Amino acid sequence: MSEALEPPTYEEALLPSSSSAERSLDEQILHIPAAHLPLPQGEFIVSSNNGHARLRLSGQEEDIELPVYGIGGEVSGIVELAKTDSILSVDVTVEGRIKVHELGEGGQIDTPILLGSVQLWTKADNASPCPSTFSFSVTLPRSFESEGKTYPLPPSHSAQLKGVPGFDAGINYWISVSIKSKKFGLAIGGNTLSTPFIYYPRTSPVHSLPAPLEWAKKGFTEQVGWKAYTYAIKTYPKSGLANIIVKLYVPASRAFWVSDSIPFHISFESESDKTITEFQPFGPAGALHATRLQLIRQSTSDVRGALVHNTKTNIWRTDSIGEGIFGPGTDGATWLSFSGHIPIEPVKVTGFSLRHFSVTDGFVLTVTPPDVTKSPFIGIRETIAVRLATDPWLE
């Protein structure tokens, strides 16, 4: 179960999706076109209330609640009409909508996305009677344009932050068949048959997980596939203790399958053996539980895209989707070291970044003394952006 956290202060936000670090993560993810995946042989069928029309969508799994399409997927199928004598036109439209509503003074953004349309038949161009069956196919675009920028087509998704300020954001897609007809000799009749669908872009990490690091006398032996992030836990001058250098080792790609258990290594080093002794209760194996490594998901809305007193007006919620498990540690007079892993809680959607709505993931390393008035150590909160993928690494 995800742990909903209180909205952090702005200094505590994860790395913004527009950062150079986030852009470099895109290179660590392989986007899998739908044409490269096995095509299911089932159908998804929708009928009109009056039974005069039916939409049969091909390439779907059996017994699903909604049709599903991937990157560059073909929305294809058959439209069947029971009565055709008064039909004027038959059209298929595939579209989406991004809606972001901020509670309070933020307002609302509504972005329609036309993904494709095809006119199957029109009486104006045909002297022959309207057919009772039409085949069609619409290829989903990989991107769309909004406010002068191009974005990858985002997955179907919704997120909420209750309260004020808060937000309600959603990305939805649907297929509709518009059937116009004459009634009493006038072009005033019609029927629309539609169904939502799920857009689920498939991705995989470019690199596999690296082999574990080994501990040597002077710390973990660095090797290809790993990257070390170095931080300092400072102490109050009156404590008489030295600072502690923290080295967190994570896979260098920072891209993971959603079902991976993410490995990591961490060490705490100081010039003073007394400092390490004093820190042990605050460390990963300590009784105070002051040290945590989490995988955090941040969902952000930004309707206004403005700065007020040099502060962004965006709103976000954070959820823990993975808690680091520290294995048995080893120690010396002036150091502590641990190896561990982060199991990822089940998530369907991976990260994306739009102008007004984004989802980002990242590691958050915290050392939080439970009583700052008595602790000789000053807490830290450090973040590292990561990217999740829907599928495992492909050899």
> What tokens does 369 get?
């003394």
> What tokens does 107 get?
């307002």
Q: Residue 142, Cβ neighbours under 10 Å: how many?
A: 13
Q: What is the pLDDT, as a whole number, of residue 25? A: 84
Dist CA 94 CA 136 (whole Å): 12
Mean pLDDT in runs of 10 for the chain (395 residues)?
38 50 78 95 93 95 96 98 91 97 85 97 88 97 94 97 91 96 60 95 97 87 94 95 97 97 97 96 94 97 67 84 94 94 96 94 96 92 97 91
Q: What is the pLDDT, as a whole number, of residue 81? A: 95
Please answer whether residues 224 and 178 qualify as being in contact, where contact means their C-beta atoms are separated by less than 8 angstroms.
no
**Is residue 20 within a helix (H) or strand (E), and if so which, with residue range?**
helix 20-26
| CATH architecture assigned to 3-26+206-389 | Sandwich (2.60)
Q: What is the pLDDT, as a whole number, of residue 51? A: 86
Dist CA 160 CA 319 (whole Å): 11
Q: Decide: helix, strand or coil at residue 82.
A: coil
Sorted by where each begins, the domain ranges of the chain are 3-26+206-389, 34-201
Locus of tokens 């952090």: 8
Q: What is the pLDDT, as a whole number, of residue 128? A: 86
> What tokens does 325 get?
């498990």
- How many degrees, rounded to 5, is the angle at CA 254 between CA 198 and CA 295? 70
Of 181, 178, 152, 161, nearest to 31 by C-alpha is 152
Q: What is the pLDDT, as a whole number, of residue 86? A: 86
Q: What is the pLDDT, as a whole number, of residue 5? A: 39
Please answer whether residues 312 and 240 qualify as being in contact, where contact means their C-beta atoms are separated by less than 8 angstroms.
no
Of 323, 269, 262, 251, nearest to 291 by C-alpha is 323
| CATH architecture assigned to 34-201 | Sandwich (2.60)
Query: Do the two domains 3-26+206-389 and 34-201 of this chain adopt the same fold?
Result: yes
Dist CA 354 CA 347 (whole Å): 19
